[in-house]
Amino acid sequence: MAESGKDLKQAMKKRNILKRWMCLLLVVLMVTGCAGNTNEERKPKNATSNEVTPVKDTPTPASDTPTPTAADTPTPVPDTPTPTVADTPTPEPATPTPEPATPTPEPTATNTPTPKPDKPTPTPASFSSVEEEREAFDAFLEEVFVSLMGTNHLTLHFRLEHPEAYGIDVTYEMEEPEYNNEQAYLDFKDACQGLESFHYENLTDAQKVNYDRLVYELDFSERYRSIDFTCVNNYLMASGNNAVDGVLSALCEYPFVEDKDYEDYLKDIEAVANYLDPLFKEMKHLCETGACPSQDMYDTTLDNLNNLCKKDNNVILAAFRANAADAGMDEATIEKRVAEVNQLLQEKLIPAAEAMRENVKTLKSYIEDPKGLAAREGGKEYYSYLVQATTGSNLSVDDMYDYLNRKIDELLNTYRTIYLKDMNCLKRYNELEYDTHDFVAILDRLKVLTAENFPAIRDTKYTVSALADELCVDSILAYFLVPQVDNPDRKIIRVNPHNKESNVEMFSTLAHEGYPGHLYQDEFFRHLDGYNIINAALSYTGYDEGWATMMGKEAYNWVTDGDTAVAFLCDFDSIYSNSVVAVCDIGVNYYNWGTKELLEYLGSTLYGDNEAFAEYILEFVASDPGMLLPYSFSHFQCVDIIDELVAKGMTRVEAYEAFLTVGPASIGVLRKHLGLPDETK
């Protein structure tokens, strides 16, 4: 999975994408006609925005849900065309791509996209020339960037190597985790004061995009200014996005660029130690207000604290050693500093983490059965805010639900068409191999293929390295670290050397993270004429993951030497499973589905009405609402955009270049600047 363009004011978002599985149930596709079911036929009866039924007595998901692989799943061959639904194993989520971030996920106006008026009406200011106005606009954008960066060093260090160069006075003290949505809107509005004084028509094309980005952000943050997300979601204890995991990730992926960074690192470790007690108090406060964790959320938080508490083989110490070596420190310096870091961990951070762990155990009485946001007062409104912020789409949640179900139908129909036309494709799929699992060799190959098939970028340097054993967990496959604004050449990809992906899947994963995915997109955009640092303060996960997911799919075309049928089969399992679970996410968190409604919906899919799986899905989507939407809904929206550009006469390469040139943005802003109709039309 991948990480580019991530807002480091949020905690690390582990994308819990379901483990890849193959569900080629021809009996469903060719005999029962499931692929022909309409959206309404598959929609559980209470699945309307105005019919909310409280979830009652939802059991806790079983912890031993089986985890299939492609090899485990019965795959029909030409003379055995009809396996049954019962033959299909139950998928389990994995987490391909983390990103370092600050410890407290604080949704802010800066990471919550929104619509923009068709034509801004500026209040003109006096400029002696168009050139002067354009220079003034760039300076204005830099001022907005500075105002949005905050002053906390741990947060800033992932964005800026030298915040002082921008006039930012840093503090090493971390603020207590609290959030006021109304105040955030007012602060953002104040930061953008003066935007209307520029003549839109005088700006360059790139400046117009940035103008529209800010208008979108302002409109979105104003629309949801009254949302109090803390009342409906204990975000500090989320299964894949909790605050403890955030500080752990931030310290494990700390950028070491200059020697001064080491002294800053020691200060930040101490700041994190001091932060853990107020962090617990806010967790407890949220529990007391009714935002209670599920068993999985509670267990995950304790697991993260256990990692912080390790006196031996501490993950932070292991990460420091690896990062110091990558930064070019000599062996003697590394050993001396490892001893100093270890002393600080033993004396400060570990005791603080141990105290927090004991405190978190007192929250066990607040554990409740998993339930979606819709079951909480104000939860539906918050979910609407959350999914639009995550996807960058202005479609209503109802429209997103229908859109995803249409795409699921299209996937199944495409599969059926491919198989009926070419029944040998399954045999070729099962025999498909790639000649190496070595991630350096794979990235080198992807770099060459990207240069041959995509718009040119400069000869980019990058570092790809294996995670230290202490950091290797099954849920992490690989990830890309977004470079600092003032250090764009520090491009790093981490790979779990112990992951069990096939060579073919590894090829696709590294295409997602590297070339032509996140690393390539980041490099292309940062070196465009007109690029402005304001883009580093704005986050568009839907665009970022939509692009990278398309590129993971593109890699299958390369690894199959253009065998489009087999390439489709390679991609089918993950995009189908992600899309089905994303629909379930909407069902649980917006339509208030419980296990009964999940079983009804899943029964119309290739999963079948497996109760254990339905319970597992309920826990998964209730713990991390909206997690899979960028990899399914946003992916499909980006594919639609490319297809529409090609239909207008562009080559696919030209369409990709146009998409990349606009850069990360909400779907509405992206479509406007590509000359496409608004998504809501």
Read off the pLDDT of residues 130-157 as tens digits, 9 standing for 90 and up.
999 999 999 999 999 999 998 999 999 9
Per-residue pLDDT, 238: 87
Given a contact cutoff of 8 angstroms between Cβ atoms, the answer to whether 630 and 504 are in contact is no
What's the pLDDT score for residue 124? 56
pLDDT band at 469 (very low <50, low <70, confident <90, very high): confident
Q: Which of 18, 23, 16, 26 is nearest to 67 (CA)?
A: 18
- pLDDT reported for residue 681: 81
Q: pLDDT band for position 541 (50/70/90)?
A: very high
For residue 328, is pLDDT > 50? Answer: yes
**Do residues 348 and 273 lie in contact, with contact meaning Cβ atoms separated by under 8 Å?**
yes
Q: Return the higher-pLDDT residue of 14 and 181.
A: 181
CA separation, residue 565 to residues 179, 309, 422, 556, 624 (Å): 49, 49, 8, 10, 34
Lowest mean pLDDT among 13-27, 456-470, 522-536, 637-651: 13-27
Q: Is the dihedral angle over the CA atoms 653, 658, 663, 665 positive or is it negative?
A: negative
Cα 181 to Cα 222: distance, rounded to the nearest angstrom: 10
**Bridge partner list, 492:** 463, 481
Dihedral pair phi/psi, residue 93, rounded to 5° = -70, 145
Position with higher pLDDT, 443 vs 13: 443
- Is it true that the peptide bond before 664 is cis, omega within 30 degrees of 0? no
What confidence score (pLDDT) does residue 471 get?
73
Q: What is the pLDDT of residue 584?
A: 98
In this structure, are residues 60 and 617 in contact, taking their beta carbons and an 8 Å threshold?
no
Give the Cα separation of 197 and 448 in Å (integer): 46
pLDDT value for 178: 67
Check: pTM over 0.85? Answer yes or no. no
**Res 436: pLDDT:** 94
- Taking phi over 0 as left and psi of -120 to 50 as alpha, with beta for the rest, 310 belongs to beta
Calculate what percentage of the chain has a pLDDT beyond 70.
81
- The most confident of the ranges 11-15, 103-107, 615-619 is 615-619
pLDDT (mean) for 278-305: 93
pLDDT of amino acid 108: 35
pLDDT at 112: 38
Is 80 exceeded by the pLDDT of residue 304? yes
Neighbours of 335 (CB within 10 A): 12
> Measured in Å, how far apart are the chain's first and last C-alpha atoms?
31
Residue 360: per-residue pLDDT: 97
Pairing between strand 492-495 and 478-481?
antiparallel
Q: What pLDDT sits at residue 22?
A: 27
Token pair 């270049």 is found at 657
Q: Burial, 219: exposed, middle or buried (Cβ in 10 Å; 0-12, 13-18, 19+)?
A: middle
Say if residue 203's pLDDT is above 80.
yes
pLDDT band at 114 (very low <50, low <70, confident <90, very high): very low
Asked if 581 and 38 count as a contact pair (C-beta separation under 8 A), the reply is: no
- The H-assigned helical ranges of 289-393 are 295-309, 315-326, 331-344, 350-361, 379-391
Q: Rounded to whole angstroms, how far apart are CA atoms 216 and 115? A: 5
pLDDT of 394 above 50:
yes
Return the domain boundaries, the chain: 26-99+395-673, 109-229, 235-373
Q: 45 pLDDT band (50/70/90 cuts)?
A: very low
Could you tell me which residue, 50 or 410, shows the higher pLDDT?
410
Is the per-residue pLDDT at 491 higher than 80? yes
Token pair of 170 as six digits: 């840093």
Q: What would the two tokens of residue 605 be?
A: 């899919």
The whole-number pLDDT of residue 501 equals 84
pLDDT in tens, 551-565: 999 999 999 999 999
Sign of CA dihedral 475, 412, 593, 638: positive
167-188 tens-digit pLDDT: 999 999 988 766 778 888 999 9
353-375 per-position pLDDT tens digit:
999 999 999 999 999 999 999 99
Mean pLDDT, residues 282-304: 92
Which run of H or of E encompasses 441? helix 439-453
| Nearest Cα to Cα of residue 568 among 434, 431, 426 | 426
Task: Using the structure block, give the residue that is written with the tokens 């290797």.
Answer: 472
Does the pLDDT of residue 208 top 60, yes or no? Answer: yes
**Between 476 and 493, where is the model more confident?**
493
Please tell me whether residue 558 adopts helix, strand or coil conformation. Answer: helix
Both tokens assigned to 378: 């104000």
Is the distance from CB of 218 to CB of 368 less than 8 angstroms? no
Q: What is the pLDDT of residue 461?
A: 86
What pLDDT does 313 receive?
85
Angle between helices 541-559 and 633-647 (to 10 degrees): 70
